[in-house]
Amino acid sequence: MRDVKWIGDSREQVQRFPKPVRRIVGQALNAAQSRRKHINAKPLRGVGSGVLEITARYDTNTYRAVYAIRIGKSIYVLHAFQKKSTRGVRTPKKEIDLIKQRLKVAQEMEEKNE
């Protein structure tokens, strides 16, 4: 089973999600640890290969967790947030920029561990 590593405040953000959403994120990470893809996991475009996004709706809100599966042998949770934009389903640029920054951090962490 692969390790899960949390980048930045991603763990704290997931812990703030409603319990049903946390359950979905946990199931997705568990599937990734076993080299399987959760039914709600979709590739996040424009970030890089092997970066997946889980989207979960609860009440009237949408929650997202983003993780990388192709950095070494670990799963890196890069970001988790509540989507507040009312314009479409697209991930906001601010969030994409943070995900890209944290992806670089995860890659650097993996290089140091090799």
Tell me the per-residue pLDDT of 47-104, one tens digit each, with 9 for 90 and over.
Answer: 988 999 999 999 989 999 999 999 999 999 999 999 876 566 678 889 999 999 999 9
| pTM over the 0.85 mark | yes
**Domain coverage including residue 27:** 4-113
Q: Is 79 helix (H, G, I), strand (E, B) or coil?
A: strand
Q: How far apart are CA 105 and CA 55, in angstroms?
A: 23
**Which pair of tokens denotes residue 43?**
């590739």
Instruction: Give the DSSP letter of residue 27.
Output: H
Predicted local distance difference test score (pLDDT) of residue 83: 84
pLDDT band at residue 3 using 50, 70 and 90 as cut-offs: very high
Q: What is the CATH number of the domain that holds 109?
A: 3.30.2310
Q: Answer whether residue 10 shows pLDDT above 90.
A: yes
Among 4-8, 18-22, 67-71, 82-86, whose mean pLDDT is lowest? 82-86
Predicted local distance difference test score (pLDDT) of residue 112: 85
Average pLDDT score over residue span 28-39: 95
Tell me the per-residue pLDDT of 35-59, one tens digit each, with 9 for 90 and over.
Answer: 999 999 999 988 988 999 999 999 9
- Who has greater pLDDT, 113 or 50? 50
Q: Find, among 94, 90, 64, 60, the residue nearest to 77 by Cα.
A: 64
Q: How far apart are CA 14 and CA 84, in angstroms?
A: 16
Sign of dihedral through CA atoms 42, 44, 37, 6?
negative
Q: Give how many domains the chain has, as a whole number.
A: 1
